[in-house]
Chains A and B, each alone.
Chain A
Amino acid sequence: MTGDRGLILLIEDEPQMRRFLRVTLQSRGYELIEASSGEDGIAQSATRKPDVILLDLGLPDLDGLEVLGRMREWSQTPVIILSAREQEQDKIRALDAGADDYLTKPFSAGELLARIRVALRHQVMHEGQTEPVFVQDTLRVDLAKRRVFLKESEIHLTPIEYRLLAYLIKNAGKVITHRQLLKEVWGPAYANQAHYVRVYMGMLRHKLEEDPSRPRFFINEPGVGYRLRFEVPPEQDS
């Protein structure tokens, strides 16, 4: 079954990390290409056309952000950043520069696989398919009719609340930075007014979450942004 789920490029210089990821990913049916340096990674991504790229930010030869920038010049392949905890600013910069998601080391195999599934799903949706109705748990959003339901009862949202929710649904499962949300929902002039997102996310939480202080849908990634929880079941892809 090796390789039929997708081709993953891993750009990582630590041999231990590569071994762990090789075993984990191959056992789950992904085909893996390994690159131990930024230059090698860029070359591999051009020749092998992977479905998902896992990129470590701390590479010996090139800055991870530079690797990302050079790949983004010609490719829209989903990139998941692997980084240490102290690099919050780098994470945000990478996300704003076009990375799709990030994982903080140390992470579990389960988290990694979930992110890869989300990335692959978005990759598929990029190619034309759109889902008219978003369903996650008790939340149901009819994107065509612009109606939001929680456990069958309809919830009324303001236009901005709805735009915010719709953008999160479009990127379901992926982390979106404050900046990205502000630019998409309020416009570029609001790019540095993070408190707007915070207030509206609070309003969404209070309308759509059962317990707003223990949200199930709107996951806060402190210092980075938000993520709409979206589980892609492992079976779905096969």
Chain B
Amino acid sequence: MEQMTQSAGARAQFVLTDAYAREMYRSIRPRVLIILGIVFFVPVLVYCITKIAWRALFSYVTGAAFLEGVSMWLAVALLLAYLVGFIWLLFAPRRRAKHLVRRMHELYGAPAQIRVSFLPDAMKVQMTAESPGISLAYPVFVRCLETSNLFLFVTREKQLFPVAKQGLLDVDEETFKKSIALKCPDIKRNWRIAE
């Protein structure tokens, strides 16, 4: 442990809270899927709403049955399916975050206190003070994201490793970004431009 601390470049220590986890999952929302979903489903949604509104007006004026005909049932079913799917996707980060925090609590008996050390050739992650942790060589990372409170490292197999900005020890954010840029020169980064 001591040896590790001595050779570590930057270090971070933070508690993985619900807010951090939510921010983490929000930042990796599948944007392409969301855009495709909007492009494909908005016309369907407009069609369904128009049809339902028109039918409702018609049935109000003439007293005819509202849900008459297959296309009316189809429109209502499509609208409901779209709404359920949309709400499900909208709340996905919150749901996943809660789940993750509860799982960590279940595993470690307390909120997970994550310690991350940036060694010369690998990133070392410890979930408890006692555990020696796991080392991930820098080439396994394919993306680094910066959000308002986190730096998020994404591996080739889509594993997420968050580092809280407030938890950075010994280094400031700009120095940290520079050191990561040197260690992982080829990965996709979306660091914010320093003001």
Are these two chains actual partners, yes or no? no
Q: Which chain A residues have a beta carbon within 8 Å of chain B's beta carbons?
A: none
